Amino acid sequence: MRSSLGKKMKDCCQDKTSPYDIRDADNNLIRACISFGDALLSHTSITETEIEAIRKMLQFLRRLPEPPPYGLHGEFGFRIEPDVDDWEGGHLSCWCVSVCRAMFEIFSCQDDEEADELSWLLWPGQQNFNDLTNARAWIAEVSKMEENLKPGQRLVIEASTWSISEEK
C-alpha cells in the first residue's frame, strides 16, 4: 500500500489538474497522518463518535490528491493537558490534522519554547510553500503519543466532523 500511495501522490504532482500542490517531499508527512489516524483508532480512550470522525478523515487522506468530499469538515489529533479533574484551561500542547472548506492543515503547538512546532497548510489551487523542517519531529511525536507526556499530564484525543449549513 505504501508504494501505491507514493505513486498516486507522485502522479498527482505531475498532473496539474490536481487541486492540491503536493510535492514528493510531502509524502512522508501525509503517510504519517494516515498512520497517526490509524493509531488513534486503537487508543483505549476513544469514543464511537471520534472513531467515525477519524474514519471519515482517513478516507479523505487515503484519496489524496482528490479534494475532500463536499461538506467534509473535520479534524483529529490529541492534546496534552494537566491531569486534574477540574482543568478548564485549554491545552498545553496539541498535534492535529484538519480539513475545512478544502483547506488541508497539519500542525502542532507546544508549551515548550524549544519544541519543534509544525504548521503545514494547503489550499486547493494554491502553490505549496510549506517548510518541512519540523516534519520529522512531528512524525516522531505522533508515532509515540504517550512519550510526549510528562508526570502530572494526560493525553486527550480529539476528533470530530461537522457541517456548515450555509454551503451549497
Backbone angles phi, psi at 36, to 5 degrees: -60, -50
Rounded to whole angstroms, how far apart are CA atoms 70 and 78? 25
pLDDT tier at 3 (50, 70, 90 boundaries)? very low
Contact 6, 25 (CB under 8 A): no
Average per-residue pLDDT for the chain: 84
Of these ranges, 10-14, 58-62, 114-118, the one predicted with the greatest mean pLDDT is 58-62
What's the whole-model pTM score? 0.83
R_g of the chain computed on alpha carbons = 16
Say how far apart CA 63 and CA 78 lie, in whole Å: 23
The per-residue pLDDT for 167 is: 47
Q: Mapping DSSP to helix (H, G, I), strand (E, B) and coil, where does residue 97 land?
A: strand
Residue 152 reports pLDDT greater than 80: yes
